[in-house]
Amino acid sequence: MTDVNQERELGWDDTIERESSFVLLPDGDYNFTVAKMERARYTPGPNSKIPACPMAKVELTVHSAEHGDQNIFHNLYLHTQTEGLLSAFFIGIGQKKKGEPLRMNWNSVVGATGKAKIKINKYRNNNGEEKQNNQVERFFEPENYNQPQQPIQQQPQQQNFQPGQF
């Protein structure tokens, strides 16, 4: 007997019943986890402002108490024109400190967490129909970067020596 909840390949004549569970999140600030990252190549269209370059296709699982976990896709273009956006992403996941250089470590991106401002994006598809999706508007710095570090004061420890300890 086949488990209907098990992920599997579908045949051409299979019966389907699951429907899309797409939920449009309202504009707001959300915590996220990087679920997937795929290396790709960006090929510019005729009106593109960015030339051909490597591209990271990142899938974020956005956590919402009201709407559950939702996936948002975000592309990062590896080009000097978008270096500030790359820095914002790596600062947002806590792997870069503001004002310091960073060698991007893509192998440590999946599983990283952060917080982002998510917005509703309105666009027209190829058929001219108005559609909506969620997009990352910006990544936030981790809170501990925004606050000055407080020196930790050590409490003097009382030494209790026992006879014959040394």
SS3 38: strand
Residue 106 lies in a domain: yes
The DSSP result for 85-98, as a single string, is HHHHHHHHTTSS-T
Q: Is 108 helix (H, G, I), strand (E, B) or coil?
A: helix
pLDDT, tens digit, for every residue of 99-124? Answer: 999 999 999 999 999 999 999 999 99
Which residue range is the domain that position 43 belongs to? Answer: 29-140
Write down the number of H helices and E strands in the chain.
2, 5
The DSSP call for residue 34 is: E
Q: Which runs of E-coded beta strand occur in the chain?
A: 28-42, 53-64, 68-77, 113-124, 130-139
pLDDT in tens, 24-37: 999 999 999 999 99
In a domain, 14, yes or no: no
What is the chain's pLDDT, residue by residue, as a tens digit (166 residues)? 555 567 888 889 988 887 777 799 999 999 999 999 999 999 999 999 999 999 999 999 999 999 999 999 999 999 999 999 999 999 999 999 999 999 999 999 999 999 999 999 999 999 999 999 999 999 999 985 444 444 334 444 444 444 554 4
What is the structure's pLDDT at 157?
43
Specify the pLDDT at position 136: 98
Total domain count for the chain? Answer: 1
Tell me whether residue 154 is in a domain: no
Query: Which helix or strand (DSSP H or E) is residue 144 part of?
Result: helix 143-146
Residue 32 has which token pair? 């996220």
